């Protein structure tokens, strides 16, 4: 059985089961208002259980085909198909068994419990239907990997360029600092020579000043007079 035939079969049975559930299970207005007999309602509820059980047949056919190794069906899809079969079977048993139990049970006494079981059976059937269609999604191949965005490479290049510019700026700053230090070192000997020249000039000036003073002192000494010379001669 092909996948398309199984899907159409299952969808048709699900639509018919939904109509019967609304008319004869919940809320069953025609039966509660006396428009249809209770016996007809019971028969239709049992038929609904059988119909929901029959919905598991196309699911089983798809599962049998999907288990073949040449298809390579993922384990998740197989698990969903198996769960769908179990859910359909449980819902069918609950609806059919509750419908038969209504023959001996009164709605006035156990109506709340009966309607609760019908609601739970409907929820389980919906889970089985959903699992069957989700199995198709699980069988799809994964999407191809996305190509690597070139923006990341551009950003990395920009960061590298920024780092290179920052390093170049730091190198230029260090070169300028070393140049300033060399010029400062070159200027210091000139300043030292100027200081020594300045220190030598006062000494020369003091020596020049002392020479005239000594000459003046020698000139100021009194010369021996002629009388003293005569006395010495006598």
Q: Which of 7-21, 79-93, 101-115, 164-178 has the lowest mean pLDDT?
A: 164-178
CA–CA separation, 47 vs 12, rounded Å? 15
Instruction: Give the residue with greater pLDDT, 136 vs 170.
Output: 136
- Reading the block at residue 99, the tokens are 């419908």
- Reading the block at residue 164, the tokens are 């290179």
**Could you tell me which residues come within 8 angstroms of residue 127 by beta carbon, excluding any fewer than 6 positions away?**
83, 87
Average pLDDT of the residues in 101-117: 90
pLDDT of residue 29: 83
Average pLDDT of the residues in 29-55: 90
Burial of 4 (0-12, 13-18, 19+ CB in 10 A): exposed
- Reading the block at residue 122, the tokens are 């409907």
SS3 state of residue 69: coil
**Could you tell me which residues come within 8 angstroms of residue 61 by beta carbon, excluding any fewer than 6 positions away?**
1, 6
pLDDT of residue 215: 44
Average pLDDT of the residues in 127-139: 93
pLDDT of residue 19: 94
Question: Residue 98 above 50 pLDDT?
Answer: yes
Average pLDDT of the residues in 124-147: 89
pLDDT of residue 114: 93
Segment (H or E) for 86 = helix 75-101
User: What is the model's pTM?
Assistant: 0.61
Average pLDDT of the residues in 182-209: 47
11 in Cβ contact with 64 (< 8 Å):
no
CB atoms within 10 A of CB 25: 24
CA–CA separation, 62 vs 82, rounded Å? 10
Whether the upstream peptide bond of residue 210 has omega within 30° of 0, thus cis, is no
């Amino acid at each position: 059985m092909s996948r398309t035939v199984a899907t159409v079969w299952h969808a048709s049975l699900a639509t018919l089961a939904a109509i019967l559930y609304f008319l004869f299970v919940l809320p069953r207005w025609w039966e509660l208002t006396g428009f249809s007999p209770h016996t007809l309602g019971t028969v239709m509820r049992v038929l609904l259980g059988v119909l929901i059980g029959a919905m598991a047949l196309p699911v089983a056919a798809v599962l049998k085909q999907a288990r073949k190794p040449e298809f390579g069906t993922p384990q998740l899809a197989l698990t969903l198909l198996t769960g769908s079969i179990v859910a359909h079977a449980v819902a069918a048993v609950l609806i059919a068994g509750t419908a038969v139990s209504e023959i001996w049970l009164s709605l006035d006494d156990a109506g709340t419990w009966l309607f609760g079981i019908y609601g739970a059976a409907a929820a389980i059937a919906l889970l089985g239907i959903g699992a069957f269609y989700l199995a198709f999604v699980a069988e799809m191949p994964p999407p191809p990997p996305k190509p690597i965005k070139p923006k990341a490479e551009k950003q990395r290049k920009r960061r590298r360029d920024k780092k290179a510019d920052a390093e170049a700026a730091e190198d230029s700053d260090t070169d300028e600092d070393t140049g300033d230090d060399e010029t400062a070192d070159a200027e210091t000997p000139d300043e030292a020579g100027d200081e020594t020249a300045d220190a030598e000039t006062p000494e020369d000036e003091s020596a020049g000043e002392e020479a005239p003073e000594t000459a003046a002192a020698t000139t100021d000494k009194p010369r021996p007079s002629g009388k003293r010379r005569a006395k010495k001669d006598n």
